[in-house]
Structure 1
């Protein structure tokens, strides 16, 4: 992959540059966007922005409204209320509905949507009209690491190569933003990890903003600069991957983003008392609380544990090679998970010492 290649961006025309109805620092700015299909409220008053050069992941379970949001930004659906602006220009609102082709948006679809009867070069150049500039097509193929493969047909490429063709085509017309709809879901697990890293680098090299729609937590956390977590048509939390994972806004966000155990606790004077330990908490919290503990925050050792560590029994273990997820039962019956490196390997029946050695989230009792 030739990471040094950068695309030449044309100077904006007068019609591209005006009218500016939102801060131009935002590649996408959605305010109060709402969409209903008959009795179903698909999107309910969503505020969402993507900064210039930023990659944002819209993450949520199937049916939460994230694809509907993407389609409204692209212009395939019109919102019932609210406004959508792209690069400062309002493209959807109470009195505006700019057509999809006039929004300068590049799309990468879940199934890539390549033309099987066209070769790679023709697929990439398709958005450029009937006589695309060969130099522009070569530039795009070089950017995505497919230079020399322009004469091949899509069926002659791997899934990862097809994904790069789709991305090159999305970048052909110098879009203001690229929208990606579940772009890795058709790839096997090993290839998915490799390709998502490539796509992130390609977007960085092209210097474009991007909105990635996905239901996969690993994809969102590994690719995006910020993650917007969506549920039932609303945004539950927006933040960096570290913020939404380590400091979830609520119980649902915490459980959706990965394994989490919930311990009852009592908060007072900036501390919370649990069966595992006394832990720091916000001084604003008092009384019954829930302590959300990620498995990475639980350490286990056979010997050499610090004072105050709990006696525990290894009940189950899932071994993944690079790490292992260990289910513990503390003396007294409380169960807690610990994610540790793959060595040393723990086994059911092992007696260990367990303690919290990492961040936790303390929330009012659900």
Structure 2
């Protein structure tokens, strides 16, 4: 008798087609948003030939990271550790929208793929699977609009593609809005962009987002694998696209056999794409059981990794603040003012972050008191 209720599958990709670890990087070490990172190693002809022979065990799948959103912009404005320490619970960061640059990049990514389809016969993604978070839905819709395809596209919203809900990280940017809000967002974008798109929701309950965020990398791997199961089980097309998050992209690679050390530093710049000729094979029940046992062991090590990562980011943020104090006081004052304004707007988490900042840079609190005193004297 099988331990599992349904068949278990293993996923891999044709390494003669794709080499994600060899992708071209930008100056920050991120995979670039360029055609060279999408184009197969030997062009699209071998891919199309393989897809013509498939019996739904192979698919060509594009993976695209979402465009730049508010929390990404804040990480660039300051540092990622500072963003992790001071901004994660702010009201402004709840399911954030793309920035103007993010919208432009999403359209640019769609244009790049359109050129590959027209000029090099790249496979056409008639189904686009997306995370339910606002930034991914916006990215998907703007990319679809730039593709300018004649046929109808299906936008399939999948909970399994959402951002990693890091263990005790509780980032507001990783929480999603309600299903009615998602539908309203989709309909607004459909009217605005005038695209021939229909939407499918996978029926997950909104109440899940009220839970404490305690996911490990293994949890993300498992739900990513479930999405791939759905794609291969329910999708008759030979090509689709996943619009997801940086962590989810790494889980796609882990599910396809890469180890954590290989994917840990392979980040994508916003709206960068990779393509995989993906294949699945049925696992023998004994192999599926062994995989489950290994993942259970890794779950605990991943939990410790997540907690250590959070602590490391907090400590690095303190070092970054100290560097601002010595070398970039205007940036430090901007951070104080940003948190101060959000505090005045009633954001209690901004107040907590401001108190934390004062502990690291006590002179800021003294400056604030002096400013209040001068204001009182002026009146």
TM-score normalised to the size of structure 2?
0.25
**Greater share of helix residues, 1 or 2?**
2
Structure showing greater radius of gyration is: 1
TM-score by length of 1: 0.25
RCO comparison, higher one (Cα < 8 Å, 6+): 2
Structure number with higher strand proportion: 1
